[in-house]
Amino acid sequence: MYEDVIKRKNEIIQKAVGIDYSKFEIKGIAFDYDRMMKEVSYSLDEIRKIQSETQVGNTPLVELKNLTKLIRKISKPEKGARIFLKDESANPSGSFKDRRASVSIYHAKNHGYKGVIAATSGNYGAAVASQAAKYGLRAIIVQETFDSNHVGQPEILEKGRACEAYGAEVVQLTVGPELFYYTLKLLDETGYFDASLYTPFGIAGIETLGYEIATQVKSRYGRFPDAVIVTHAGGGNVTGTARGLKKAGAKTKVIGSSVDLRGLHMASDHDFNRKSFTTGHTGFGIPFSAYPDRVDVPRNAARSLRYLDRYVLVTQGEVFFTTEALAQVEGMMRGPAGNTSLTAALSIAKEMDEDQIIVVQETEYTGAGKLPSAQLTFAKKMGVIVKNGNSIKEDVPGKVIAIPESIEQIGIIEYPLENIKKSYVKESIKAYGKSEFSDVEKKFMAEDTNSNSQEIDKMLEEVLKDGKA
């Protein structure tokens, strides 16, 4: 049964998504990404109308005046950019993922599907369930929830409860390869629409977020923001936001931020419950950037290297500190995902001039299982040491969470994009089983990494010489 389902993967996905990806193939690694995004999905104006029908989008842009004041007190003279936050918790299910789900569910309804399926342990499940309820469709959410001892991470359990509250059926699995298999099996058995995170529908839905940020800032201050910081996981958030900024005419710097969980293996039964962040971390941010097409659809519409200007990491302890700071200094209690970007903003704002504008691109709702108290209590139960200290120096993923004692200790870890680009070349060699690529393929690789063909040639030479491919 397993072999049969896996063998028919492409057939099942094409029927469940309704996209013939072969139309966009050019040669080998190369495909027409821009054509796919233009032809398959909807225009920005169409998406804005679709989202307005289900109360998605047009969320508040909030200036964090108190946190900006604190940052200026510890910055050099005339430094300390104004920090703004796009409050996506105002969406129906409490996160920006409603934008992503809205287009997929609209498309499913209009094309006669009776229900939708999504494989996700994050906020996307609640967004799909909420939008499906609005359109009268059934929803099945497949989650990786437990380790082999049937112990579930509190944030994932919280999100499962949210999905059920919206009327969805939740299928909860242990960590491992079962997620992909069960999702395919359910799609095959039900004939439901695959509301994958990585289709053009989902990515185009986020473009309205970048567009709103650009237009809201410009209408208030007569110019576009200088930088937007995006919590970076699978790449859809970065891709959609950056594309929306561009469509508004903004030449804003796009900075990705992830929680540093390097050293933990995302598919490890042992490591699964020793991470306090289930998304927005390096376990997704780095591998999905280096090899976007590792996903459940033939071609991933989320291709973050095309759009990232900078990539920074923050620690678990820093995000917990920032979550408390946002609540106690600004009176906004929000979940950890958006606060990953806010943590980076607190550090990056110190580099910028005080008349510049930095926007934290999203927030998320919070609840019992997502609160720092629940996460830290669970971490202690799993043998993780929780202490006060210098988080950048003392945080050890899976072993130690060091929570800063003051805002002065908030910092960032710069992660060179060149390292990810080189990994992209290495993964391309592995995935396609070849070391020589045509000029057409190199052109695509250059576009996919925001490089040029000469740089691709150089990286190919270095990877092959290192013998790491």
Q: 57 and 46 in one domain?
A: no
Domain at 151, CATH number: 3.40.50.1100
Q: 186 and 42 in one domain?
A: yes
Of 298, 409, 262, 274, nearest to 29 by C-alpha is: 298
Q: In the predicted model, what is the mean pLDDT of residues 41-52?
A: 95
Q: 24 and 70 in one domain?
A: no
Q: What is the pLDDT of residues 179-205, one digit of tens each?
A: 889 999 999 999 999 999 999 999 999
Q: What is the pLDDT of residues 231-278, one digit of tens each?
A: 999 999 999 999 999 999 999 999 999 999 999 998 899 999 999 998
Q: What is the pLDDT of residues 414-424, one digit of tens each?
A: 999 999 999 99
Residue 469: which pLDDT band, with cuts at 50, 70 and 90? very low
Q: 337 and 442 in one domain?
A: no
Q: What is the pLDDT of residues 344-357, one digit of tens each?
A: 999 999 999 999 99
Q: 112 and 87 in one domain?
A: no
CB 125 within 8 A of CB 162: yes
Residue 3: which pLDDT band, with cuts at 50, 70 and 90? confident
Tell which of 197, 219, 248 closes a domain.
197
Q: What is the pLDDT of residues 206-233, one digit of tens each?
A: 999 999 999 999 999 999 999 999 999 9
Tell which of 197, 219, 239 closes a domain.
197
* Residue 4: predicted pLDDT: 85
Q: What is the pLDDT of residues 95-154, one digit of tens each?
A: 999 999 999 999 999 999 999 999 999 899 999 999 999 999 999 999 999 999 999 999
Q: How many domains does the chain have?
A: 3
Q: 187 and 133 in one domain?
A: yes
Portion of the chain with pLDDT greater than 70, in percent: 100
Give the whole-angstrom CA distance, residue 43 versus residue 248: 13
Is residue 307 within a helix (H) or strand (E), and if so which, with residue range? none
Backbone angles phi, psi at 71, to 5 degrees: -65, -40
CB 401 within 8 A of CB 389: no
Provide the token pair at 41. Answer: 């999905």
Of 209, 200, 203, 247, nearest to 228 by C-alpha is: 209
Statement: residue 56 has pLDDT above 50: yes
* Residue 30: predicted pLDDT: 97
Tell which of 197, 232, 260 closes a domain.
197
Q: 333 and 362 in one domain?
A: yes
* Residue 368: predicted pLDDT: 85
Statement: residue 468 has pLDDT above 60: no
Of 96, 307, 299, 289, nearest to 198 by C-alpha is: 299
Residue 465: which pLDDT band, with cuts at 50, 70 and 90? confident
* Residue 411: predicted pLDDT: 97
Domain that holds residue 437: 419-466
The predicted model scores a pTM of 0.96
Q: In the predicted model, what is the mean pLDDT of residues 74-99?
A: 98
DSSP character at residue 306: G
Calculate the average pLDDT of the chain: 95
How many degrees, rounded to 5, is the angle at CA 367 between CA 363 and CA 370?
75
Q: 151 and 104 in one domain?
A: yes
Q: 407 and 273 in one domain?
A: yes
Is the C-alpha dihedral spanning 99, 102, 103, 104 positive or negative? positive
Q: 173 and 28 in one domain?
A: yes
How many degrees, rounded to 5, is the angle at CA 373 between CA 403 and CA 56?
100
Q: 239 and 269 in one domain?
A: yes
CB 282 within 8 A of CB 264: no
Q: 437 and 367 in one domain?
A: no
